[in-house]
Amino acid sequence: MASPLKCLVEDDSRYLKSFQLFLERSSEHQCMQDFIHNTLPDILASIGGGKSHLNVIGVGSGAGEIDLQILSELRKKHPGVTVDNEVVEPSSQQLHNYKVLVSQKPELDFIKFAWNKMTSSEFEEHWKVKKMTKKADFIHMIQMLYYVKDPAATINFFQSLLDKNGKLIIILVSEVSGWGKLWRTYRHQLSYSEISQCVTTGDIKSSLDSKGVRYQNYELPSQMDITECFTDGDEKGELLLDFLTEVLDFSKTASSELKAGVLELLRHPDCSTESNGRVIFNNTLGVIVLDQLS
Ligand code: SAH
């Protein structure tokens, strides 16, 4: 049966507003930054095999805040390299924000940016049509595999672009997060569709395991303050609920039973902890690191 609920990603502007609020209410980018500064440098050190030029691809880069930190760690590990950075991002607003950020950082002049305003599958198509043979030293897909039709096929394509010593990193929510519990319980009643799926690193690991593909895995503890979701009519709470459920105007369009069920689950100990009157949702992320296909 078709769901009457609309998917949040169909409304680019509300999606961006809710994503921005999610970033403000969570330690999402902070925990990624810790990973980028503490763990990623050793991974970056192992790529390239001494080459003076590296090819990087960022898929679903958003406004590029995280990408630029990765690129700066890359340069620290490989002083003097030049970098070709392919940015794959379908949102023109986010691509614009990314370009503005780059224009404010003259120290990035070792990087040549190629802006691909397209989805990952359009990029794949474009790559195949142009019979591109260029290989990549580092590819990252951070919090974007929810938005592709076939995450396993997407991973397989990008992994096939890796050069010797190349690395592909994937970041998604972990199966131990509140997201995992929310999705396992409500995926059929919310508006998940081809363009927005409930995929965790647990699902990706199972799929890689079944194919015998080896990977490394890290968990990044992270939290999100969802207290406002429990104040009826609170504008920010409603925006956060849209982000959590991926439903456009969830509070206004979901049935009262569904709304009550989701709210109850969100504050259940499987999803959140409560302290000092705040409800803190478990936003733990998972990182998967892949080598060149063998
Ligand atoms: N990587 C960034 C942004 C994550 S939000 C970060 O972690 O901060 C998800 C991003 O994926 C959005 O910018 C969205 O526009 C982009 N996106 C959505 N569908 C996509 C697709 N099919 N292919 C590539 N990117 C996509």
The alpha-helical segments, DSSP class H, found in 104-248 are: 120-129, 151-160, 178-186, 201-211, 235-245
Q: What residue's CA is closest to ligand 1, atom 17? A: 60
List all residues 6 or more positions away from 17 whose beta carbon is below 8 Å from its beta carbon.
Answer: 239
Residue 187: per-residue pLDDT: 87
At residue 233, the 3 state secondary structure works out as coil
Residue 225: per-residue pLDDT: 98
Residue 135, pLDDT above cutoff 60: yes
- Reported as a pLDDT band with limits 50, 70 and 90, residue 25 is very high
Residue 134, pLDDT above cutoff 50: yes
pTM of this structure: 0.95
- Using the atom order of ligand 1, give the atom closest to the CA of residue 61: 1
Q: What residue's CA is closest to ligand 1, atom 21? A: 119
Rounded CA Rg of the chain: 19
Residue 195: per-residue pLDDT: 67
Q: How far is the CA of 194 from the centre of ligand 1 (A)?
A: 15
Q: How far is the CA of 274 from the centre of ligand 1 (A)?
A: 30
- Reported as a pLDDT band with limits 50, 70 and 90, residue 192 is low
Residue 287, pLDDT above cutoff 80: yes
* Residue 104 exposed, middle or buried by CB count within 10 Å (0-12, 13-18, 19+): exposed
Residue 196, pLDDT above cutoff 90: no
Residue 104, pLDDT above cutoff 70: yes
Integer Cα distance of 83 and 52 in angstroms = 9
Residue 1: per-residue pLDDT: 43
- Using the atom order of ligand 1, give the atom closest to the CA of residue 94: 13
Mean pLDDT of the region 98-112: 97
- CA 175 from chain centre, in angstroms, equals 14
Q: How far is the CA of 55 from the centre of ligand 1 (A)?
A: 20
| Ligand 1 neighbours by CB, cut-off 6 Å | 19, 59-62, 66, 88-91, 94, 119-120, 142-144, 147-148
Q: Which residue has the tokens 């950082």?
A: 105
Mean pLDDT of the region 17-38: 98
Residue 3: per-residue pLDDT: 55
Residue 147: per-residue pLDDT: 92
